Structure 1
């Protein structure tokens, strides 16, 4: 009980420091230097709106300038956006309306709109340091054509090459790596270069059937079907989420091993080993 209380105290202290850092952050963004446009994309929903603005401010105040930062929402949800989020449109935020694809809204609508860009996904409930985007861009330049991520799991395989149960994977690996057996996890940010994903990636009927709540697995399979490897940059990544943001979560169903294992089985059956 004391340990839990101390952990909660430390988390509150980290959150206060993060919020203070974002508000005081003064950056002069430099050009990204990529050969295609660079767009940061994310989604949200009303249960997260109370803590959405700090995340967006952190994304808009980066050391490297994105060409756009796009927030994808359903029309119904967009009508409920708080004023502190709406005001960020004057600081570089673009609001986009799309159909309700749950967590897939952070990437699929942007791919449908224009896949010939570097797309960087972020979550709506986390703290992003000033060099978050710069590190991903540097990774893209160092490993051309790769999906680049701050946080990855190492996939384990069975003797026949199919993907093993999610619980057997090496989670949140602690060293830079490049491999066909790395699965990028979305919360810490993922950069997708043009043509890095199979053309079926935007097939909503298919991903809603096979893995409706396991978008990281879907995007991993789509990368492998396109022959793309994943490059993990940096060390083990600590996630700092805002208090209360996980009360209702697009990721909550994924935390159950059986949910991810069902998705793995379905993807193995339809597409074979990635």
Structure 2
């Protein structure tokens, strides 16, 4: 059995990636490899990585990290196509490129995966919450974080905490279908989760891994409230409050109010339509 940590990144996030990779290379787990999938062609918000920065070449020269040039499928590159190339007993651990992972993160995930070999193990996940009036799920924004140690079929692993995959626990035919690029181009977690659901594989949240997560706050555009007068600012707050209440009600009723809701619905409709062909 080999342990492989796999992640991807984009042209504008290379500086964040540096710190994530440093934290991964400092893990206390004794033997593992890091696979970084990058692309030269643009896709979505990624303009493509044309040349590796010197610091990344230096990391590769150490020997633990390998860079793979793959077709640009956005966030899906953390699992595809690498999962098709690993052995049946390998553990493939995906993670995000904007998190500093404490030294015990990988060890805690592998410990849990060893204890729960028939589960997809993760460091963080959300529990699907049903609508108050029907069996439809509420908006993704209302799905609560599952507590450490939780186990179940209705938990959706999220990438930030790391997810441990064994290919035998996923519907490999489904996961490789190219429709994900149209149905859920940015929601890789939801697509991978459906591949788990189709084989009735439960999820286990590692009790310890969540304590080793330190997300990096990336700089972004700030909204300048000073551009508004007190009067217009007050009006803006009132309108925002009303919109928030309306969206909250719609979300509880199971109506889509965010892109994750749309992707989740798209995936479920696709599976239902294809049925046994999946």
Structure-to-structure mapping, 1:56-135, within 5 angstroms: 56-76=21-41, 77-91=48-62, 92-114=64-86, 116=88, 117-135=90-108
* Cα gap change, 1:199 to 1:138, in 2 (>3 Å): same
- The residue aligned with 1:50 is 15
Give yes or no for contact 1:72–1:96 (8 Å, CA) kept in 2. Answer: yes
CA distance in 2 between counterparts of 1:105 and 1:128 reads: 20
Give unpaired runs (5+ residues) of structure 2: 42-47, 222-255, 273-278
CA distance in 2 between counterparts of 1:205 and 1:223 reads: 17
Shift of 1:242: 2.9
The higher radius of gyration belongs to: 2
Give yes or no for contact 1:162–1:268 (8 Å, CA) kept in 2. Answer: no
Q: Give the secondary structure class of the aligned counterpart of 2:83.
A: helix
CA distance in 1 between counterparts of 2:134 and 2:171 reads: 23
Give yes or no for contact 2:175–2:192 (8 Å, CA) kept in 1. Answer: no
RMSD: 2.3
Give yes or no for contact 1:41–1:106 (8 Å, CA) kept in 2. Answer: yes
- The residue aligned with 2:139 is 165
Shift of 1:167: 2.7
- The residue aligned with 1:252 is none
- The residue aligned with 1:188 is 161
Aligned length: 228
CA distance in 2 between counterparts of 1:165 and 1:243 reads: 25
Matched, 1:139 2:115: no
Give TM-score scaled by structure 2 length: 0.75
* Cα gap change, 1:189 to 1:243, in 2 (>3 Å): same
* Cα gap change, 1:175 to 1:113, in 2 (>3 Å): closer
Give yes or no for contact 2:147–2:205 (8 Å, CA) kept in 1. Answer: no
Give TM-score scaled by structure 1 length: 0.76
CA distance in 2 between counterparts of 1:99 and 1:246 reads: 27
CA-to-partner distance for each residue in 1:108-134, whole Å, 9 max, x for gaps?
Answer: 121122362210001111100000000
